[in-house]
Structure 1
Amino acid sequence: MTTTLTSKKKQPKQGMLYNVMRQFNNAADIIELNTNIRKILEVTNNEFVVHFPVRMDNGEVEIFTGYRVQHNNALGPYKGGLRYHPTVDIDAARALAMWMTWKTSLAGLPYGGAKGGIQLDPTKYSQDELQRITRRFTYALGDNIGPELDIPAPDVNTNPQTMAWILDTYMSTKSPNERSKNLHVVTGKPIGAGGSEGRDRATGYGVFLTIKFWAEHNTIDLKNKTFIVQGFGNVGYWASHFLKKEGAILIAVQDAYGSIHNHEGISPEKLLDYAKAKKGSISGFAGANVIDNAEFFGLDCDICIPAALGNQVTVDNAHDIKARLIAEGANGPTDVKAEEILLKRGIDIIPDILCNSGGVIGSYFEWLQNRNGEIWQLDEVLEKLERKMRESFNKVMYKTKTKNLDMRTAAFVIAIERLEETYVQRGIFP
């Protein structure tokens, strides 16, 4: 989560759906994508909007709206997170589902793309209320999710506990002899409920890895390089944790409650402990000074990691950014007009469908373990994750060099070409 950034003269933001369609069309034009396949990929397969009642702790009934959008499943089951946030609506779900299709395709996974969630502010509800909301949402989705059909995972404001509630509710609708076959209906579960070692850090570790690969590609030493992070949940923390191990220095963090800065460095571990004690807020952390939210992206640093919500880097702040690299830990954090400005300024962008794909790769590993009755150790998971991420990174860099493309366009081209090949080989029914 993050606050809306202020500026002297704000420009109207384009929605995430506008951004992802611009990105898709740009790549599709470059590869001269088959017209019929283009028609398929530019729309979603299925969209579910459910309204459901939940009794609150005070006895009153509240009606919630939930969404699940399934964009494409040509490569395998739909895959994507569920988020609980006031900004969740059908267009946001459509955009995020499309990004998941490109992300899983780029990573070489046997998955399609989906996304969804509930339009709510989870801080306004008790743990018991969130459990009832989650279980009722799962029941409302019914057989529109499933271990070989559509596999949800955590996203903004959801976590392993949320996935455990979904799993238990879904399995409760099945006969006793079928329940053991449905453990992989969700990923990102707690370890005790069938989760995988390393899934908690997979997305943040993947963000770190792509930064590390980028540094190696450009013969840059990460030691003493400074970085800032927007969003200090799982992704922001773990990316910071691993960058610190490389000698990089975290100098600023922004979350929904404000922004803090210390040019001498902020300890990710101490900040995490503080945030946990403050119910997720970094506000008031003694190891840094408070700064205005509008100053955050303009801080002098080497690396910027937006790891919160979409549309945070805009035309209003793109000219202020001093980082040499933007590593997109969030989905769609940079709008298309801002990206044009950044690229002209020589700032590299590791695109979201590459940068934060460690999460869905980690989910794939969990899904495989559940499916095959296996349990992998942490070092095995991280080793497999690094190998998979490096393979994707190298493909993107090769495409940027051979086709003279920016990294996002190269990543989209690779993802779309894989889908195009699938449709060409299989044909279109009937």
Structure 2
Amino acid sequence: MANKKETMYDNVMKQYNKVADYMDLDPNIRKILAVTNNEIIIHFPVRMDNGDVEIFTGYRVQHNNALGPYKGGLRYHADVDVEAAKALAIWMTWKTSLAGLPYGGAKGGIQLDPRKYSITELERITRRFTYALGENIGAEHDIPAPDVNTNAQTMAWIADTYMSTKSPSERSKHQHVVTGKPVGSGGLEGRDRATGFGVYLTIRLYHESRGESLKGKTFIVQGFGNVGYWASKFLEADGAKLIAVQDAHATIHDEAGFSVEDLFEHSKPRKNSIAGFADDKEIDPKQFFGLECDILIPAALGNQITEENAADVKAPLIAEGANGPTTDAAEKILLENGVTIIPDILCNSGGVIGSYFEWLQNRNGELWQLDEIMIRLEKKLTGVFKKVENEVKERQTDWRTAAYVLAIYRIEMAYKQRGIFP
């Protein structure tokens, strides 16, 4: 009988149980954090452009809200299911806790390939899903945000649909039901680059702590969507060189380097696909993780670096721009080989910190300028990075374990101080 393929949920639970053992987590709190609070599955009909009705399945998993409202993205992808949403929701709980935000963790999405639908169909799908979710989301209850294959436009549709279910006098109170909205609809200036900036900043801080600069460093990126592009843009501006990119359609490599902006301009009208940019530089996708470089940034989907390819990795540093890109078995191999991994809950937390700023801005009726936002973001991320770095040094452990200990300890303290109802 063939071995069952390890899922993201298997991975997150292995990570959790390992750290719970390591930190001797209170057994009662361990039970609470091992399960999700709510798992919502919705089947809903939508009329297509040709008049036919198609049935879609949407998910929203709410893991824990001990520290505040549930927070997490909505993704549109063929691989979305309840198990993936559970894993991603748990990671969001750790991420928001580590960042010191007043949030819990949630995640969800719709099981579909958005490339197969027109913009008008995607709007109807989004609005119908929002209506079906009803009071399962809310500005003080559960606040969605963009994720894989969703964007500011998606969030604008959700906000408009949700607010339309409220009385006219109440609508303004619900604008922050989602974050990641267009700037003209209450969004935060700079939210588009927040996650990629966080990836870049943690890489820069890591090198600075070792007395190094990014000038002359080479990096490779898996996924050239919003996160991969902005991380690359900031790294290139600091003197690093992008030498390879991989997405679902192509893998390109050139030791002379690629222009980040040229690649972006090529991919933008092709829904972030790099295919056709450098046909003469294409390589076998299986060679990607084994390329010689200084920094590897997985910024696509989960479970990409596995037991099968971990030994191929040549980069001494992995910065996890995606959620859960490295399996537990792969991490063991990487750590044994001396590879440092900046974990996702630290590395890509710039996005949720930016979301928090937007939520505050809407809630308080304020309007922040881009330069002010980026200063706040850098200050917040730097503080979190330093805390994790100190934990690594004090405990003589790896970065993921250190980050998890800090994240879970904060939630443990909240439960101990408040008690368990009743």
After TM superposition, the score normalised by the length of structure 2 is 0.98
Q: How many angstroms apart in 1 are the aligned matches of 2:282 and 2:269?
A: 19
User: In the TM superposition, what are the counterparts of 1:259-338 in structure 2 within 5 Å?
Assistant: 259-286=251-278, 289-338=281-330
Q: Is structure 2 residue 143 aligned with structure 1 residue 154?
A: no
Task: Tell me the residue number matched to 2:222.
Answer: 230
Q: Is structure 2 residue 96 aligned with structure 1 residue 104?
A: yes
Any idea what SS the aligned residue of 1:210 has?
A: helix
Q: Is structure 2 residue 167 aligned with structure 1 residue 175?
A: yes
Q: How many angstroms apart in 2 are the aligned matches of 1:31 and 1:282?
A: 43
Q: How many angstroms apart in 2 are the aligned matches of 1:220 and 1:333?
A: 26
Give the 4+ runs in structure 1 shifted more than 2 A: 10-13, 277-280
User: In the TM superposition, what are the counterparts of 1:386-401 in structure 2 within 5 Å?
Assistant: 386-401=378-393
Q: Is structure 2 residue 123 aligned with structure 1 residue 125?
A: no
- The residue type paired with residue 164 of structure 1 is A
User: In the TM superposition, what are the counterparts of 1:44-193 in structure 2 within 5 Å?
Assistant: 44-193=36-185
Q: Which moved more, 1:214-223 or 1:241-250?
A: 214-223
Contact 2:96 2:352 in 1 (8 A): yes
Q: Which moved more, 1:23-32 or 1:140-149?
A: 23-32
Tell me the alpha carbon deviations over residues 50-90 of structure 1, each in whole angstroms, 9 at most, x when there is no partner: 00000001110000000000000000000000000011000
Residue ranges of structure 2 left out of the alignment (5+ in a row): none
Any idea what SS the aligned residue of 1:349 has?
A: strand
Any idea what SS the aligned residue of 1:175 has?
A: coil
Q: How many angstroms apart in 2 are the aligned matches of 1:174 and 1:207?
A: 38
Contact 2:62 2:105 in 1 (8 A): yes
Task: Tell me the residue number matched to 2:198.
Answer: 206
Counting aligned pairs with the same residue, the percent is 70
- The residue type paired with residue 209 of structure 1 is L
Q: How many angstroms apart in 2 are the aligned matches of 1:402 and 1:132?
A: 52
Contact 1:13 1:311 in 2 (8 A): no
Task: Tell me the residue number matched to 1:18.
Answer: 10
Please report how far the alpha carbon of residue 11 of structure 1 lies from its aligned counterpart in structure 2 after TM superposition. Answer: 8.2
- The residue type paired with residue 375 of structure 1 is L
Any idea what SS the aligned residue of 1:136 has?
A: helix
Q: How many angstroms apart in 1 are the aligned matches of 2:159 and 2:357?
A: 17
Task: Tell me the residue number matched to 1:30.
Answer: 22
Task: Tell me the residue number matched to 1:343.
Answer: 335
- The residue type paired with residue 118 of structure 2 is S
- The residue type paired with residue 188 of structure 1 is G
Any idea what SS the aligned residue of 2:32 has?
A: helix
Q: How many angstroms apart in 2 are the aligned matches of 1:104 and 1:71?
A: 12
- The residue type paired with residue 276 of structure 1 is K
Please report how far the alpha carbon of residue 288 of structure 1 lies from its aligned counterpart in structure 2 after TM superposition. Answer: 6.4
- Higher relative contact order (CA closer than 8 Å, sequence separation 6+): 1
Any idea what SS the aligned residue of 1:177 has?
A: coil
Please report how far the alpha carbon of residue 298 of structure 1 lies from its aligned counterpart in structure 2 after TM superposition. Answer: 0.7
Task: Tell me the residue number matched to 2:357.
Answer: 365
Please report how far the alpha carbon of residue 218 of structure 1 lies from its aligned counterpart in structure 2 after TM superposition. Answer: 1.8
Equivalent residues, number:
421
Please report how far the alpha carbon of residue 26 of structure 1 lies from its aligned counterpart in structure 2 after TM superposition. Answer: 1.1
Contact 2:194 2:350 in 1 (8 A): yes
Contact 2:68 2:104 in 1 (8 A): yes
Tell me the alpha carbon deviations over residues 196-236 of structure 1, each in whole angstroms, 9 at most, x when there is no partner: 01100000000000000100112222111100000001100
- Alignment RMSD: 1.1
- The residue type paired with residue 383 of structure 1 is I
- The residue type paired with residue 239 of structure 2 is G
Taking structure 1 as reference, are residues 404 and 11 closer, same or farther at Cα in structure 2, changes over 3 Å only?
A: farther
- The residue type paired with residue 185 of structure 1 is V
